[in-house]
Amino acid sequence: MSQFRVESDSMGEVRVPKTALYGAQTQRAVDNFQLSGLVMPMGFIQALALIKQTAAEANAAFGLLDSPRCDAIVAACQAIIEGQHQAEFPVDVFQTGSGTSSNMNANEVIARLAQKQSGLSVLANDHVNMSQSSNDVIPTAIHLSAALALSLRLLPALDHLALVLEQKAVTLHGLVKTGRTHLMDAMPVSMPQVLQGWACQVQLSRQRLEQGLHQLLSLAQGGTAVGTGINAHVNFSTLFCTILSAKSGLNFVPSKNFFCAIGSQDVAVSVSGELKTCAVSLTKIANDLRWMNSGPLAGLGEIALPELQPGSSIMPGKVNPVIPEAVAMIAAQVIGNDTTITMAGQSANFELNVMLPVIGYNLLQSIELLSNGSIALADKAISGFIVNEDKLKQSLSCNPILVTALTPIIGYENAAKIAKKAYSEHRPIIDVAVEETELDRVSLEAILDPNKLTQGGLAE
């Protein structure tokens, strides 16, 4: 028996796998775009199904779509939203720049599912795609999928990471370490101060991304082909957003200007920029952890990260900081994705951007990677690291930079002489200060107490 069936579209006949739910236009895309093997993320496909479901309900409310067909389309979309039929979306990411192939893939799959369930004639273009165009559906799917991924995945992940950092900081109360600037010894800082600094970075990234989420809530749907709203009810966009908001729990609104929403992808570029900033923040935290964990004998050895797996195929007993390394690679990927999205954002010519699929793909990948990386960093690195208190105290006691606290009393030049002598003779700063100043040891111990030096300003 033949493994194929014949489907037709406006260009003629094409053979489609017999069991496939999709039709001719999807098959043409599969044949034409054998480029990467990468397909659109399931979050994007689910967003397309949610758009089609919402559009069907809006069209039915306006009397444009009969109730039986609406119900069939809604049910078919719901199956896709729930994660079914993933294999029915085989179109390569690198396809037509408008994403028409992905839009028609969704239309065809939903139409066939709806037709099977209802026994009615449900057409991909006339019914599933009613009051829509690829040109407003795909920009809407980018905003919708990214907004859902941010609200459901990344923002909670960043909240978790910040909370773990703050909780860990509390457990490290009273521990002081040598600060470093230019990777060189500097004035002391407390371990809680270090972790609270990281937490602040994470919290600021979250705030910026929340602002980006607010921008994503403005949708192109209803602008149809070029922004004029052709073939859609005059109130379609408003009702669409009302229904979608009720379904998603997010407050979506029609774009104030459909020409802007369809002709550009500035919001996606902006959100990607904030994802890049978040990646930079995570890189800073990951690298600090790697440095503090380095050694354990020849490095800083200030902390010991959880031992998760053997680190070498040739050196027995070696354990590497695998989670911070993985997070650093995630950050590199996100930064690369941002470059791609930036370049794609520049491909907005006249009334349409023509690199929409790659924008959607990279935006969702960045959100997913940062979400997973934040959770891994919190749960598999930060929450379980152990502080080597003896190493902290040893480094502090020999840190000549502590002499900075004496500068207001003995002057910069005299303090510099003491520091250099302590360096050259490998002696604790307090021993040299006893010899070189008129201050007694008790007074010097009070002045050079590392805990006090982490508190900032001069005493009154």
Catalytic site positions: 182, 312
Nearest to 176 by CA among 193, 162, 164: 193
Dihedral (CA of 420, 425, 431, 436) sign: negative
Is residue 427 helix, strand or coil? coil
Strands, E, within 289-409: which ranges? 303-304, 348-349, 352-353, 386-387
Report the chain's terminal Cα–Cα distance, integer Å.
Answer: 93
**Which residues share a beta bridge with 184?**
181
Residue 68 CB neighbour total at 10 angstroms: 14
Backbone angles phi, psi at 442, to 5 degrees: -60, -45
Tokens 């040739």 found at: 314
Q: Which two tokens stand for residue 11?
A: 């260009």
Give the β-pairing of 348-349 and 352-353.
antiparallel
Is 210 exposed, middle or buried (CB count within 10 Å of its CB: 0-12, 13-18, 19+)? middle
